[in-house]
Structure 1
Amino acid sequence: MIKIAMIGSKDFCERTARLLDPNSDISLVSYIYEHPKEAKSIIPTLTPCDAILFSGSLPYHVSLDELEKLQIPAVYLKQNETAIAMTLLYLSTTRHVQLDAISIDIREPIHMTHVLNDLGQTVTMPYIHPIHPEETIETITDFHLSLYRDGKTVMAVTSIHAIYERLVEQQVPAMKMIDPESNILQTLEEAKQKALYVRSKSSQIAVGLIRPLTMLNSAEEEAAELAGLLHGHAIASENGHSVFTTLGNIDKVVSTTAFQKLFQRLSSKAHLAFGAGESTIEASQHAEQALSLSRRPDEFYVLDGSKQLRGPLPDHMDDRIDMQVQNPIMQEMAEKTKLSPANLSKVMQFGKFRNAKQFSANDLALYMNVTRRTAERIIKKMSECGYIKIAGEEMTYKQGRPRALYELNFPLW
């Protein structure tokens, strides 16, 4: 069973539960709020689950800070053009309300424009209020209320259950945006598939290699303690220790205080690296590769079964480098430039980090943690193939020639 925590209004949670097939392999647990911004405080109260489903974009976005602390996927019900079209169809055929007499709050106003354009005729737009995550419920409620009291509208349509209840209290004719059943079921399926992916990746076999800095160092005590933290077991070898566990256990443990203290002790005696894969042989090979990349004992890398390299840890938990070519653009670049997938991946990440700004060879060297000469060689190879172009020059503070400035000349996404 895939256990999904639903965070939303009572109406949303009850409707979603009714739509779920009784024979489904999804189990739903409801966490009901009165106000969307309460979602953030709900996150720390969740019992163990495989994924989180939010009723909309507003509760999802206000919870992002808390979600970053979790290692499970989160999705939200997206308000698309189908939802808007169904709502407008209902208003025109059942309520017989003209569009220009409607006030509506929506996350993406462009969806409304697309729906009206698809009608193929000139129509007057309703009064639209774009929803922003930091906006208060009172502001959106006042938008609908003032238009109705001024006689400009006869109906308010809202995407937020709390606003609907407030409008009803103020005796304003209101309705909630219709969420099509298909949208809800598709979002549930999305949450399920993401949960299955995370579960399969977490269950990968992982091996941690501990290699003493010198023959005089013994890390036997630390290896046993690490195995205990990782719910695995340690085996001594001629050149150190191997700790067998799963990738999921590593993900859960490396950010804990207990591991940080252990690693501080261990780094004075030995190098550490982790590898994961479909078998212990593959995991051990990946751990050896990760170990070969470690330059200092106070940092370590994790190379998973997809050849994604994480680290250096513990300071760079979210940094990931592709050690094999899968992207067609990167594959072509690797063939032309003869650069390694790791270096190309770092350059691509550098481009995203710089947000398409001009850069110098020194900027690239600092980001990649390589010498300036190495960065210049990478730039030269990519320039010869047209993937980097000269954008100008930068005067230095000291005497000497101006430094060349470059721009990346390939898609980053």
Structure 2
Amino acid sequence: MKILYVGPLMMINKLVPMSKRIFPNLEFDYITYERYTDAPDLLEHYDKKVDAVLFSGKSPYKICENQMNQSILMDYVPRHETTLYRVLLEITYLLKRDICRLSVDTYDKKMMQKLYKEIHVELREDSVFFAEQRYMDPNYKDYVVAFHRKNYYEHHVCCCITGLEEAYREMKSEGIPVVLAVPSEDVVVQSVRNLQIRYIAKKNSENQIVVVAIKLNVPSEYSLMKEDEYSYLSQRIKIMDRLYHFNHRIDGVLVEQSKSECMIFTTKKIIETETNQYKDFYLLDVLREVSAVPVYIGIGYGKTANESKYNAYESMKKMERSRQNSVYIVFENGEVMGPLETGRGAKKQDSFDEKFYRAATETGLSVNTIYKIFGGIVKEEKADFTSRELAAICGVSVRTMDRIILKLCDAGYCEVISEKLMHKSGRPSRILRLHPLQIYNG
């Protein structure tokens, strides 16, 4: 996919390198202008093929939207609250100005009131002034500069905020204190991803967009894994690594909704080809190999991205209720397919805690002892230990650990692989190898 950025030079110098770094698999080109009203003419004479156009702000987007053919995907980088937070910090700590006396364009009063309320600062209407948002006015830049100039020279304000780089340069040359609202990295990332999703939906002849929803079942309040956040985070990293690999294979767009949920946007043609018409949804098997945390997967079809997302959530709910190692699909007409088994069949997977209870039963040790040992070796990222090292991990004496090791060996969770002289004198220490896969992979 190739995206064309359209904006003033200062903004382009920030957006393009950032986008190339974050999205190395996408192509980016750019057009710069002195005045945003020139954007339609510049685009009309741009003859290189691109898949989408991303404007640096709303003003050039609105003009091009009104004047140009809409056959190509177009969007703009919005002025988000996070950008405004950065601007206010710059005014306070770099310019040493009062954020209660401002002249503002691009942002509306409602957003500013909400933000000021969150930071417990009073927004007085007689000391913060808002320019009208006349995006379709060809003289909008001149109006903005005149608005800020009047407020500053009449001593109503001590600083200005603008989203127009042309206005910023002009006010800066006059010595007017002004800050340019440059979008944050998170805002740029979301803008590019939104274009990717729309592009995927438009590109394929099978014009249905399909959403694969994935949810990690967060350990319950009484789970052993819940008590050790490292184990849960370790599992999440492994799961996300496999999901990103799968996402790359299907040329999808992966969006993390939260720490426990994410979505992959792809198309009907790609997902059905990759899974052999859902006869082998191998992603479940891949996740089962690395995960002690139950992972629920649902697939949704729809005419729009929102409809597909809704159906994906509906299918995931069915998966949660069934608690099977399978997949459900909800189509746009409401028809449900499933449960679909993986290539290895719907073998039941013990939960993280069930595996620990099983190991405790087989060894005659307590669950907490089992957890300390195997949780500890995961943190150490190795499998071979001396009894003294294991004793330190579990906080017990070497004598006690020797008795524990004997029970682990009898149950097949541990074996002596060699002996090593740890000191110049004395008996050699046994080198023990533990088999955590019996707990973590069943």
TM-score by length of 1: 0.47
TM-score by length of 2: 0.44
- Larger RCO: 1 or 2 (CA < 8 Å, sep 6+): 2
Larger radius of gyration: 2
